[in-house]
Amino acid sequence: MLKERLNLLFTKYDPTIQTLISEVLTLEQAYISMERPHVKDQIDQIISRLAAKEVENIGDGNRRLIE
Using CB under 8 A as the binding rule, whether residue 45 contacts other proteins is answered as no
Residues of 5-15 as b/e, b for ≥16 C-beta within 10 angstroms?
A: eeeeebeeeee
Separation between Cα atoms, residue 13 and residue 2, nearest integer Å = 19
Separation between Cα atoms, residue 37 and residue 27, nearest integer Å = 10
Using CB under 8 A as the binding rule, whether residue 64 contacts other proteins is answered as yes
Site string for other proteins, 2-41 (x = CB under 8 A): x--xx--xx--xx-xx--xx--xxx-xxxxxx---x-xx-
Where do contacts with other proteins occur on this chain (CB under 8 A)? 1-2, 5-6, 9-10, 13-14, 16-17, 20-21, 24-26, 28-33, 37, 39-40, 43-44, 47-48, 50-52, 54-55, 60, 62-66
